[in-house]
């Protein structure tokens, strides 16, 4: 299987791949007041990054195939990191690991994250390079992939932020977060 096929495969399944890790965390969960408090900070940070990103990019981030985006977003969080949604996903997932107090899942999460997202990012970069040409090349050469830089990219796109657009796009993610936290809460009363 070629790297582009692997990237496209993971791109289509990216909403479902966290399920095995969530099930592991639910099974072994032993949350404490400290783990919940500390984990919630990461969840809030990760989801805030996601809301900030989709507030600029809109619902096209929910696509199951490449090519849904109309043009390159280089403003907001995208001026600091090329993949703020994937960064937000990782931080949010890390927070769920902390809340569940199943810390041995963190290395599994980290490895799985890179195994899944690096091929996705590679396919997206190829697509953006082909569709946006030199505009994307400049952006690619000046904005890091996953670790944010301190100074924003100087050439901002004309995209505007909309909290309504962000919250509309994030309904599924917010629902999933509340369900997982609720299940972790209920799990502490069910001995296995």
**Pair 122, 68: CB distance under 8 Å:** no
Question: In the predicted model, is pLDDT for residue 130 greater than 70?
Answer: yes
Question: In the predicted model, is pLDDT for residue 89 greater than 50?
Answer: yes
**Is residue 15 a part of any domain in this protein?**
no
**Is residue 82 a part of any domain in this protein?**
yes
- Distance, in Å, from the CA atom of 1 to the CA atom of 23, rounded to the nearest integer, reads 28
Write the DSSP symbol of residue 77: G
Structural domains in the chain (count)? 1
Question: In the predicted model, is pLDDT for residue 67 greater than 70?
Answer: no
Q: Report the pLDDT value the prediction gives residue 13, as an integer from 0 to 100.
A: 67
Quick one: CA dihedral 43, 46, 49, 50, positive or negative? negative
- Distance, in Å, from the CA atom of 25 to the CA atom of 27, rounded to the nearest integer, reads 5
**Is residue 192 a part of any domain in this protein?**
no
**Pair 94, 113: CB distance under 8 Å:** no
- Distance, in Å, from the CA atom of 94 to the CA atom of 86, rounded to the nearest integer, reads 12
Residue 74 pLDDT grade (very low, low, confident, very high; cuts 50, 70, 90): very high
What is the share, in percent, of the chain residues with pLDDT greater than 70? 88
Question: In the predicted model, is pLDDT for residue 155 greater than 90?
Answer: yes
What is the Cβ-side half-sphere exposure of residue 65, based on CA atoms within 13 angstroms?
Answer: 1
Q: Report the pLDDT value the prediction gives residue 25, as an integer from 0 to 100.
A: 87
Torsion from C-alpha of 70, 74, 75, 77, nearest 10 degrees:
110
Whole-model pTM: value is 0.87
- Distance, in Å, from the CA atom of 154 to the CA atom of 145, rounded to the nearest integer, reads 16
95-116 pLDDT, tens digit each? 999 999 999 999 999 999 999 8
**Is residue 14 a part of any domain in this protein?**
no
For helices 33-57 and 84-100, what crossing angle results, to 10°? Answer: 160
Domain containing 79 equals 3-8+20-187
Residues 6 or more apart whose CB falls under 8 angstroms from that of 128 comprise: 72, 136, 140
- Distance, in Å, from the CA atom of 153 to the CA atom of 145, rounded to the nearest integer, reads 13
Q: Report the pLDDT value the prediction gives residue 35, as an integer from 0 to 100.
A: 93
Instruction: Note the Cα 52 to chain centre separation in Å.
Output: 12
Question: In the predicted model, is pLDDT for residue 31 greater than 80?
Answer: yes
Here the CATH number for the domain that contains residue 174 is 1.20.120.1630
- Distance, in Å, from the CA atom of 18 to the CA atom of 23, rounded to the nearest integer, reads 9
């Amino acid at each position: 299987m070629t790297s582009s096929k692997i990237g496209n495969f993971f791109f289509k399944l990216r909403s479902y791949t966290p399920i095995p890790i969530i099930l592991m965390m639910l099974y072994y969960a032993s949350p404490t007041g400290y783990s919940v408090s500390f984990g919630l900070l990461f969840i809030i940070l990760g989801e805030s990054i996601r809301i900030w990103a989709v507030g600029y990019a809109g619902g096209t981030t929910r696509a199951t195939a490449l090519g849904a985006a109309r043009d390159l977003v280089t403003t907001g969080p995208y001026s600091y990191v090329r993949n703020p949604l994937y960064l937000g996903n990782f931080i949010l997932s890390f927070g769920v690991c902390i809340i569940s107090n199943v810390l041995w899942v963190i290395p599994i999460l980290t490895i799985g994250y890179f195994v899944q997202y690096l091929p996705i990012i590679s396919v997206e970069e190829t697509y953006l390079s082909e569709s946006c040409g030199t505009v994307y090349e400049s952006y690619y050469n000046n904005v890091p992939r996953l670790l944010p830089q301190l100074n924003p990219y100087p050439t901002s796109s004309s995209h505007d932020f909309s909290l309504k657009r962000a919250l509309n796009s994030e309904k599924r993610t917010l629902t999933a977060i509340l369900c997982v936290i609720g299940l972790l809460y209920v799990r502490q009363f069910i001995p296995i």
